[in-house]
Structure 1
Amino acid sequence: MNLEKFRGVIPAFYACYDEQGNVSEEATKELGNHLYNKKVKGLYVGGSSGECIYQTLEERKETLRIVAENLRGKLTLIAHVGAPSTRDSVILAQYAAELGYDALSAIPPIYFKLPENSVYNYWSKIMDATDLPFIIYNIPQTTGFDLSISLLQKLRNNPKVIGVKNSSMPVMDIERFKAAAGENFIVFNGPDEQFVAGRLIGADGAIGGTYGVMPELFLYADEFVKTNDFVHAREIQTKINDIIISLCSLEGSMYAAIKAILALQGVSIGGVREPLENIHEGDLEAIHQIKNQIDEAIAHYGKVLA
């Protein structure tokens, strides 16, 4: 299949709540439109940034529905359908297919330490449930499961497997997965802190959790890589990493800080779902400072590219 629609900057979509902490249709549409107007390639819906493990099956389906009805055909839409049980994952996969998503993706099952064969069967049953292409999600630092080259090659025997969202920290994994999977296969850079390095070593595109609060910086970074402007590529990665470190240094969770900054940018999508920590009063000054960091970096590198 033509994989061009998967090559580019794809923000991981945030969970959007109302004042009561329920999934908000209005806020979900607002965030989707905001990112569409930033000219990103697509959206990765229902993953870690979507707080999927803290939502019910119906809440996850609601978010998938709202995003699809609002942006289907406008952006590449990837549905993350990983759930604790194979049964729930299959239900989400079939629902995403009905909604017209472009591809499915899933982390391996969490909590129980499963052998490779169980993980292979889990992903295979998700793929068997629809005709959609599938993107493996490798994030060993949170799932405890590290995708091996042998399992990747076994999965590649299924023509529905078109890529891997690689969020392991060793950037070499991107090169190894790319080399092992062969042609017509997409490797996405996962860790936002190594966006430039991931692209240089072979990533075709990127999916990340901080893109939504500063999509311009990742789009600029991607342009610097494409034009072989490695001086500015390194510079902007440093700015991005400074911002990420600041986002992770608060009492509230990174996602709570991101949502607070989005609110300052005019996009209100609520707080985070417990046990994630919402922002504390002591975080407020730092949040304004981080917003200024983002604004200044966008202004500076926008002029560089002008």
Structure 2
Amino acid sequence: MNVAVTWQGIYPALLTPFTAEDTLDLDLFETNLRAQIDAGVRGLIIGGSLGETSTLTRPEKLQLLERALQVCDGQVPVIVNIAEQATRDAIAAAQEAEANGADGLMLLPPMRYFADSRETVEFFRSVAESTKLPIMLYNNPVDYKIHITVPMFQELAQIPNIEAVKESTRDLTNVIRMRNAFGDRFKIMGGVDTQILESAVLGVDGIVGGLVDAFPAETVALYEWAQQGKIKEAFELYQWFMPLLELDIHPKLVQNIKLAAVATGIGSEYVRAPRLPLVGEERAHVQGIIDRAMANRPSLAVPA
């Protein structure tokens, strides 16, 4: 039976751990999953950009889904990312995820082809109508060049299982724009690590995070303190966290965050080619950011 997806709280966009032999490291994947659940995340997203989705095979994605469902055991929903070039492939991936027990989907616009507004809406409509699963659209024109605008959402609002948006435009006023246009019709999930506190203050329903893969407790605390009005405590934690969070808004975010997860004992540095682990001055720079953060890692105890 599917777990209800509320699109609230912290949803990590999970890393995909590999072995030195370039196979899935499912045991390490489970270690990270358990750390996320123990920290209080409210959902899990597998096979996203941070999960190196473009290099994963369909069978590997199903292996990750199977292990995630086993570990979660109904505690939190498991969301599968859909990032395909052809509409028919996206439909097939969505139906395959549903048949194998996924609780929901994160759906990206068409990959590679720069679809116009009409084509993008039809792509989303076709995939949504092929499945009963709840869907969160990923609005990230910075990286994927397609902006899902308010007029496009007005068309998509007629499709009931399109329930949420991962808001990664990096324009925080878009949160207010969406609320003004739709009220609570769409759940809004902040999607940029360096805007977590601002997004929470603006009233997003949750956060899809990256550095949460290495620092789950800190990410959950930051969002929840902001929600609870503990702004002073949240701001101080945010100041400490910011150099790490900036590792997420970088072309090598996968390597960066995997290196951070090594430091906290819940990840490995192995990536899948053509990605390569960081080396030389680049690695030293990122490791320095991580080391400084670890040396000053704050207590999460907050006065009542």
Under a length normalisation based on structure 1, what TM-score does the superposition of the two structures give?
Answer: 0.89
Cα deviation for residue 236 of structure 1 reads 2.3
Once residues 184 and 28 of structure 2 are traced to their aligned partners in structure 1, the CA distance between those partners, rounded to angstroms, is 39
Amino acid at match of 2:66: R
Tell me the distance in 2 between the aligned counterparts of 1:284 and 1:276: 14
With 264-273 and 191-200 compared, the bigger mean Cα shift is at 264-273
Instruction: Give the partner amino acid of 2:13.
Output: A
Give the % identical residues.
Answer: 21
- Kindly tell me: are residues 28 and 3 of structure 1, through their superposed partners in 2, closer, same or farther at Cα, counting changes over 3 Å? closer
Note the 1:224-303 alignment, pairs <5 A.
Answer: 224-245=225-246, 253-282=252-281, 285-286=284-285, 288-295=287-294, 298-300=297-299, 302-303=300-301
The corresponding residue for 1:57 is 58
Count of residue pairs the alignment pairs up: 302
Per-residue Cα deviation, 1:77-123 (whole angstroms, up to 9, x for no partner) = 22111212222222221122123222111110122221111111211
More helix by share: 1
Mapped to 2, the partners of 1:278 and 1:63 lie a distance apart of: 22
Alignment of 1:70-81 (within 5 A): 70-81=71-82
RMSD: 2.4
Structure 1 unpaired stretches of 5+:
none
Aligned to 1:180: 181
Match of 2:302 in 1: 304
Pair 1:47-2:37 in alignment:
no
Task: Name stretches of at least 5 consecutive residues in structure 2 with no aligned partner.
Answer: none
Which stretch shifts more, 33-42 or 56-65?
A: 56-65
| Distance change in 2, residues 1:272/1:279 (3 Å) | same
The superposition leaves residues 253-276 of structure 1 with CA deviations (integer Å, 9 ceiling, x where unpaired) of 332232233223222445122233
Q: How many angstroms apart in 1 are the aligned matches of 2:26 and 2:5?
A: 30
Shift of 1:42: 1.4
Of residues 263-272 and 155-164 in structure 1, the stretch that sits farther from structure 2 once superposed is: 263-272
Specify the alignment match of 1:122 in structure 2.
123
**Counterparts of 1:207 and 1:305 in 2: how far apart (Å)?**
27
Q: Structure 1 residues 305 and 221 mapped into 2: Cα distance closer, same or farther (>3 Å)?
A: farther
Report the counterpart of residue 132 of structure 1 in structure 2. 133
Task: Compute the displacement of 1:235 (Å).
Answer: 2.6
Q: Distance in 1 between matches of 2:244 and 2:36?
A: 19
What residue identity is the alignment partner of 2:130? A
- What CA distance in whole angstroms lies between the structure 1 residues aligned with 2:70 and 2:123? 28
Question: After superposition, what is the alpha-carbon deviation per residue over 1:193-230, rounded to whole angstroms, capped at 9, x for unaligned?
Answer: 01111111121101011211112222121222122122
CA–CA distance in structure 2, aligned partners of residues 246 and 40 of structure 1: 21
SS at match of 2:113: coil
Deviation of the 1:138 alpha carbon: 0.4
Distance (whole Å) between structure 2 residues aligned to residue 116 and residue 246 of structure 1: 31
Deviation at 1:156, TM superposition (A): 0.7
Query: After the TM superposition, which of the residue ranges 131-140 and 57-66 deviates more from structure 2?
Result: 57-66
In structure 2, relative to structure 1, the CA distance for the partners of 1:55 and 1:4 (3 Å cut) is: closer
